[in-house]
């Protein structure tokens, strides 16, 4: 099994430099929401990411069934490795 090596401080700094600055107004708005509404943006972001990956995989592997593509999507987003 391939083990991932940890990122160096320089590699982490390079990644962070490429990020947009934090939107503190958005953080405050979300922090003031009740927990059941606070999770909705995260769920929408996850659904968007999964849908985008699904479309990419369907184009890359046109011979796979919808179930097989779904398994590839879950495999990508699941942190548990067997």
| Structure token digits, residue 52 | 């985008």
pLDDT digits (tens, 9 = 90+) for 3-54: 778 889 988 888 888 788 888 998 899 899 999 999 998 899 999 999 999 9
Q: Which residues of 1-23 are buried (b: 16+ CB within 10 A; e: fewer)?
A: eeeeeeeeeeeeeeeeeeeeeee
17 vs 60, higher pLDDT: 60
Helix residue spans in 1-82 (DSSP H): 9-17, 24-31, 35-38, 40-60, 66-77
Q: What span, in angstroms and rounded, lies between the C-alpha atoms of 34 and 37?
A: 6
Taking residues 57-63, report their average pLDDT.
96
Total-model pTM: 0.60
């Amino acid at each position: 099994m391939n083990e991932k090596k940890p990122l160096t401080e320089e590699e982490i700094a390079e990644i962070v430099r490429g990020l947009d600055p934090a939107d503190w107004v958005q953080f405050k708005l979300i922090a003031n929401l009740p927990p059941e509404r606070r999770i909705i943006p995260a769920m929408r972001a996850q659904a968007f990411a999964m849908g985008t990956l699904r479309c990419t995989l369907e184009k890359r592997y046109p011979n796979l069934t919808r179930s097989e593509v779904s398994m590839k999507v879950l495999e990508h987003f699941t942190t548990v490795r067997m």
